[in-house]
Amino acid sequence: MSLARGRPGASEHQPDTFTFSKTNLEEAERIMARYPQGRTASAVMPLLDLAQRQAGWVPVAAMDTVADMLAMPRIRVYEVATFYTMFNLEPVGRYLVQVCTTTPCMLRDSDAIVEACRSRLGIDFDETTPDGLFTLKEVECLGACVNAPMVQINDDYYEDLDAGSMVAVLDALARGDRPQSGPQAGRHASEPQSGPRTLTGGD
């Protein structure tokens, strides 16, 4: 994880302004309406998320826009945006590949997943492929240890990976397909690998 989260991303990427699209603005107003009057600052995280979905990342201009919409000091928004690593403070590729390397995934050979990503994409952590498709990131536990090893790509989890299935997922994404998310080793959810063992018979 980059230690520089406390500072704005490189200025050459930072746009001067940010405006929500018409649909997102309507969505933002719906979100803000959930909170009582004078308490709309509570909407800061959903709004930042909305901005990230629109721009792919959260530029400082977007934080400023959110702060002004919620009538809160800008620094309060910067604090939130820099606290949560899920907010991207620098531009990322179309697919943000977040590889979990925390202990359970590591024990299930996440190193092979990392290596597969590196060689398939030709990039290291915190880098983006030249075609702008993929950004690779190393993250801490994403809470799917039972299906380790796993990666998160945008909003989807890909679990029970090995080097081969990892490359297959990346290949599919590169082709423009949307591979089926979830376990890639044939099992349903987190059932035992060898098939269901309980509640299988009639009585």
Partner 1 sequence: MKETVSITIDGVEIEVDRRLSLLQACELAGAEVPRFCFHDRLSIAGNCRMCLVEVAKAPKPVASCAQSLMDGMVVSTRSAVARKAQRSAMEFLLINHPLDCPICDQGGECDLQDQAMGYGAGISRYGEQKRSVAEKNFGPLIKTSMTRCIHCTRCIRFLDEVAGVPALGATGRGESMEITNYIEQGIASELSGNIIDLCPVGALTSGPYAFVARPWELVTTESVDVMDATGSNVRVDSRGREVLRVLPRLHEDINEEWISDKTRFAIDGLVRRRLDRPWMRGREGLGEVSWEQALGAASQRLENRDATRVAAIAGDLVDCETLFAMKRLMAAIGSPHMDCRQDGMAADPTVRASWLLNSTIAGIEDADACLLIGALPRREAAIVNARLRKRWLAGGFSVASVGPVDDHSYPVKELGNLTDALRRIEAGESPFPGAANPLVIAGKGALARDDGEAVLGAAARIADALGAVHGDWNGFGVLNVAASRVGGLDLGFVPAAGGFDTAGILAGAGSAVDTVILLGADEIDTSNLAGAFVIYIGHHGDRGAAVADVILPAAAWTEKDATYVNLEGRPQRAQRAVFPPGEAREDWRILRALSGHLGMPLPFDDLDSLRQEMTGEVPHLGAIDTITPAAWQSFGSTRDMSDEPFLPAIGNFYRTCTISRASPTMSLATNAFPSGVQQSASCS
Residue pair 91/57 in contact (Cβ under 8 Å)? The answer is yes
Q: Which stretch binds partner 1 (CB under 8 A): 68-76, 102-110, 116-124, 163-171?
A: 68-76
178: its two tokens: 């949307």
Of 150, 175, 144, the closest CA to residue 165 belongs to 150
156: its two tokens: 């989807």
Q: Which stretch binds partner 1 (CB under 8 A): 16-24, 70-78, 103-111, 145-153?
A: 70-78
**Between β-strands 95-100 and 151-153, what pairing exists: parallel, antiparallel or unpaired?**
antiparallel
Q: How far is the CB of 81 from partner 1 (least distance, A)?
A: 8
Q: Which stretch binds partner 1 (CB under 8 A): 1-9, 15-23, 128-136, 146-154?
A: 1-9
Residue pair 91/134 in contact (Cβ under 8 Å)? The answer is no
Tell whether residue 178 is a contact of partner 1 (CB under 8 A): no
Question: Residue 48 carries which side chain, given as an amino acid letter?
Answer: L
Q: Which stretch binds partner 1 (CB under 8 A): 3-11, 18-26, 101-109, 120-128?
A: 3-11
Tell whether residue 79 is a contact of partner 1 (CB under 8 A): yes
Q: How far is the CB of 6 from partner 1 (least distance, A)?
A: 4
Choosing from 60, 92, 96, 148, the residue that interacts with partner 1 (CB under 8 A) is 60
Tell whether residue 16 is a contact of partner 1 (CB under 8 A): no
Choosing from 45, 56, 76, 162, the residue that interacts with partner 1 (CB under 8 A) is 76
Residue pair 128/134 in contact (Cβ under 8 Å)? The answer is yes
Q: How far is the CB of 139 from partner 1 (least distance, A)?
A: 14
What does the per-residue mask of binding to partner 1 show for 110-139, with x meaning CB under 8 A?
A: ------------------------------
Burial 83-101 (b: 16+ CB within 10 A, else e): eeeebbbbbbbebbbbbbb
- Beta-bridged to residue 97, according to DSSP, are 136, 153
Question: Residue 116 carries which side chain, given as an amino acid letter?
Answer: A
Q: Which residue has the tokens 């826009």?
A: 65
Binding site for partner 1 (CB under 8 A): 3-8, 60, 71-76, 78-79, 82-83
